[in-house]
């Protein structure tokens, strides 16, 4: 009778533990209720920050007039068939200063930090209206949109984002998703603000309202850190202790073997 009771209690405890563990694994567990009375959120567009690298091109029907506003460098190379020097223009990148400015040809210093890509294009286009007869096509692209994902993920790495827009779950998928040891309700986002100060935000990926969070979309140079759970930490301690014990036992056995061999020779 006691054995049967013990078996039933053990099964119940195992089921409760299993259910409790399962609740921590799936993403977006809660039902998301959309409030239709709230105004819709605008489409996300990353803002330009100090230390960003940008490529900016100006195009018109008259290439000669547009070239004046394209920052290019001449790269030279020696031809194998000819001793003459050839030159090929290459597009240079703009480094946004700590003050959030760039030095644009003819226009001079432009304050673009805090602007979106389309806002920066509009600013440059308006400033160029004084110098060009027609409305130019201005294209701004970010060259250093990178994020880092580390901690309890399958493939921690630094990822370059070509399309300039990525959310938390897309970033985790690039890293091969969280391991079973990763805490879904304790993911750290390390982000540098426009004033250069870093902040650490704790995110709970089990909650559905994460998709409405201002941290859902990642900015350039964001770092996602997935915290390991207590089981992983305990296993790590056990593994280290076990290794130390095995090392100590091996040394003791070697010493004992040497002593035994020495005694037999006496």
Q: Where are the domains of the chain?
A: 53-142, 146-228
pLDDT of residue 88: 46
pLDDT of residue 126: 95
Distance CA 41, CA 164 (A): 19
pLDDT of residue 205: 94
Distance CA 145, CA 152 (A): 23
Q: Which CATH architecture has domain 53-142?
A: 2-Layer Sandwich (3.30)
Same topology, domains 53-142 and 146-228? Answer is: no
Fold category of 146-228 in CATH: Outer membrane lipoprotein wza fold like (3.10.560)
pLDDT of residue 8: 47
Distance CA 99, CA 48 (A): 12
Beta-carbon contacts of 255 under 8 Å, excluding residues fewer than 6 positions away, are none
Paired with 202 in beta bridges are 188
> Within 13 Å and on the Cβ side, how many CA atoms surround 197?
2
Distance CA 219, CA 227 (A): 20
pTM (2 decimals)? 0.66
pLDDT of residue 248: 56
pLDDT of residue 30: 63
pLDDT of residue 206: 92
Rounded mean pLDDT for each run of 10 residues along the chain, 266 residues in total: 48 46 61 51 79 92 89 54 48 90 95 94 94 92 92 95 90 94 94 85 92 91 92 58 55 64 62
Paired with 157 in beta bridges are 149
Distance CA 266, CA 258 (A): 13
């Amino acid at each position: 009778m006691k054995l049967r009771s013990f078996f039933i209690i053990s099964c119940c405890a195992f089921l409760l533990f299993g259910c409790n563990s399962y609740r921590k694994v799936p993403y977006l567990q809660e039902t998301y209720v959309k409030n239709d009375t709230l105004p819709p959120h605008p489409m996300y567009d990353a803002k330009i920050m100090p230390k960003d690298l940008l490529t900016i091109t100006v195009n018109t029907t008259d290439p000669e007039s547009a070239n004046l506003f394209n920052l290019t460098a001449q790269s030279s190379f020696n031809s194998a068939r000819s001793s003459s020097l050839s030159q090929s223009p290459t597009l240079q990148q703009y480094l946004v200063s700590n003050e959030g400015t760039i030095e644009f040809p003819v226009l001079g210093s432009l304050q673009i930090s805090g602007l979106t890509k389309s806002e920066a294009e509009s600013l440059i286009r308006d400033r160029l209206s004084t110098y060009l007869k027609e409305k130019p096509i201005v294209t701004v692209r970010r060259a250093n949109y990178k994020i880092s994902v580390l901690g309890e993920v399958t493939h921690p790495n630094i990822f370059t984002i070509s399309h300039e827009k990525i959310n938390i779950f897309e970033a985790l998928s690039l890293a091969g998703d969280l391991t079973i040891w990763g805490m879904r309700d304790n993911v750290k986002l390390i982000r540098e603000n426009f004033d250069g100060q870093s902040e650490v935000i704790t995110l709970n990926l089990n909650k559905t309202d994460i998709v409405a969070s201002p941290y859902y979309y990642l900015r350039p140079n964001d770092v996602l850190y997935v915290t390991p759970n207590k089981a992983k930490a305990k296993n790590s301690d056990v593994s280290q202790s076990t290794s130390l014990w095995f090392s100590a036992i091996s040394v003791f056995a070697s010493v004992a073997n040497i002593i035994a061999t020495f005694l037999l020779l006496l």
